[in-house]
Structure 1
Amino acid sequence: MTLEDRARVEVCFSPKQYELYKSDFQICVVIDVLRATSAISTGIDNGIEAVIPVSSIDEAREYLNNGYTVAAERGGEVVEGFPFGNSPYAFMDPSLKGKEVVLTTTNGTKAIHMASEMPTVIIGSLNNLDVVCRWLIEQRKDVLLLGSGWKDKFNLEDTICAGAIADQLIESRLFKAEEDSTIAAKFIYRSARENIFSFLRASSHRRRLRRLNLNEDVKYCLTPNNVRSIPILKDGKLVKLAYEYEPVH
């Protein structure tokens, strides 16, 4: 396969830059490592039927008033009046199996809504890294890796995850990258991959979550491949993609 025949994979650092990329891709992978996409992937993997992403607290409260199970987070904390936020551990609760859960977060659900116009939207995290990469390689379509960032700004953890996905796709020799953002993300990931937790010690959002005593959440979210499911956006709901995956040992 020549370079010209390869599919593209590119990294968009934050939703603020999305308009510069959106028209060129068939698949968008939304990434919010700390913690929305990690929680969504975990919940779907643990039997939640669907996650309904909503952008605003007001919309989430309407669902709550109509009897839905609703999770809401702003600034790293659970929003007052809601049962839980975006901790992946909350999404492991056995009582949620088979249910639909409505979710609103500071960054991730906003990015999901922004990307919803794309032909295919899936959820990526370090937790489901390899299964996402395997599926994307099989699709051989142009892929945009959209980091949710922090309030429209660049962040390290989403960039590392996007770089990890881009690295696997490029190494398959079925994908190419043309943007400097993708090359930068790939090399940031390669610098961090031996110990992502330590690499991110000084990152802004990890410090933010540490102040909220959420270090266990951080450790979980930075653990690659403890989830085998890919959430995919269908009719406004994130559901489990029908895809059989067995890790290569």
Structure 2
Amino acid sequence: MKRIEILLTPGQLNDELTLKDKNIIVIDVLRATTTITVSLANGAKEVIPTENIATAVRVAKGSKNSILCGERNGRVIDGFKLGNSPLEYTSEEIKDKALIFSTTNGTQAIMKSKFAKNCLLASFVNMSTVVDYVNALDEDFTIICSGKLNDFCLEDAVCAGMLLNKLSVGRNLELMDSEVAAMNLSNDLAMLMNVPSQEKVLRMLNISEHGRYLSQIGFEKDLEICSKIDSYPIIPLFRNGVIRLREQFEGDSDQRSKMKRVNIGIKREEKQKQSD
């Protein structure tokens, strides 16, 4: 690993093909990547991100055992069952369901990564698990901060900086201005507040522009969930238009490999019988 790039807003991307065959981490602390992580941890079968409401409705009509989920400007979309609050995504509500998901910022950034080699979803709640996985891959990565309406968001930049600080240990990475700025924001947060790490993150969310807005419209409790570092040690992966747990994708791959080996064995046996 030589390079970890940070895009502080999705607007820094020229087009989706810029990310083709790259390793991507998408961050939307408030709240999409946090909520998706919580939903998969609580038993959702998968999350299908969509760029707009019309597409979400169309996909839901063709999907069995699915739930329409999402928000615009922080509030649940009219006609949708769930919004974008992680507190809504209980096991009783979503277990074994496909979640058709559309949000103002997060799903837009995720969809920009549809041609990526790997696309991981990160936030404070799965920080260390993502770090361990990226360290194991040992390849270059691009971190995309979802921001708010293509503008800079403090919480996404701090999360990206914290990730990069952890990933840079023992490495001599090439850093540009965006990476240095994000790392310094994360370091400044650690030094300025003489309280435990989780409380520092919660205080930062409370003073952030987006955090203040969510509190104003009744989602103050979401900030506490979103601040809990490593509370959900799982990795959501976006692949082939669907977000699932990493283990689910790897299980599918193992099963395909197993079936391929079985088919090869059957063909060999048939060929042997014919020769006999």
Could you say which residue in structure 2 is the equivalent of 1:54?
50
Greater shift in the superposed pair: 193-202 or 79-88: 193-202
Which residue pairs with 1:236 in the alignment?
241
Q: Does 1:212 align with 2:217?
A: yes
Spell out, residue by residue over 1:107-129, the C-alpha distance to the aligned partner (whole angstroms, 9 max, x if none): 00000011111111111111000
Which deviations, in whole Å up to 9, do the C-alpha atoms of 1:132-160 show, x marking residues without a partner? Answer: 00100110110111000000011001001
Q: Which has the higher helix share?
A: 2
2:4 aligned to which of 6, 9, 33 = 9
Runs of 5+ consecutive residues of structure 2 not aligned to the other structure: 191-196, 249-276
Tell me the secondary structure at the aligned position of residue 72 of structure 1.
strand
Is the radius of gyration larger for structure 1 or structure 2? 2
Tell me the distance in 2 between the aligned counterparts of 1:177 and 1:47: 39
Q: Which SS does the other structure have where 2:125 is aligned?
A: coil
Sequence identity percentage: 28
- When structure 1 is superposed on structure 2, of 8-17 and 21-30 the one drifting more is 21-30
Summarize the alignment of residues 3-82 of structure 1 with structure 2, pairs less than 5 Å apart: 6-19=1-14, 22=18, 26-66=22-62, 68-82=66-80
Q: Which amino acid aligns with 1:88?
A: P
Across the aligned residues of Structure 1 and Structure 2, the Cα RMSD in angstroms comes to 2.0
Find the partner of 1:170 among 168, 174, 187. Answer: 168
Which protein has greater RCO, CA pairs closer than 8 Å, 6+ apart? 1
Offset at residue 95 of structure 1 (A): 3.5
The answer to whether the 8 A contact 2:131-2:163 is kept is yes
Instruction: Tell me, yes or no, if the aligned pair for 1:24 and 1:142 is still in contact at 8 Å.
Output: no
Question: Comparing 188-197 with 6-15, which one deviates more in the overlay?
Answer: 188-197
Q: Following TM superposition, by how much is the alpha carbon of 1:59 offset from its aligned partner in structure 2, in angstroms?
A: 1.0
- Map 1:75-224 to 2 at 5 A: 75-171=73-169, 173-174=170-171, 176-193=173-190, 194=197, 195-224=200-229
Question: In the superposition, relative to structure 1, how do residues 107 and 23 fare at CA in structure 2: closer, same or farther (>3 Å)?
Answer: closer
Q: In 2, distance between residues paired with 1:148 and 1:118? A: 16
Letter in structure 2 aligned against 1:45: A
* Aligned positions, number: 237
Q: Which residue of 2 aligns with 1:3?
A: none
Question: Structure 2-normalised TM-score?
Answer: 0.81
Query: Normalised by the size of structure 1, how large is the TM-score?
Result: 0.89
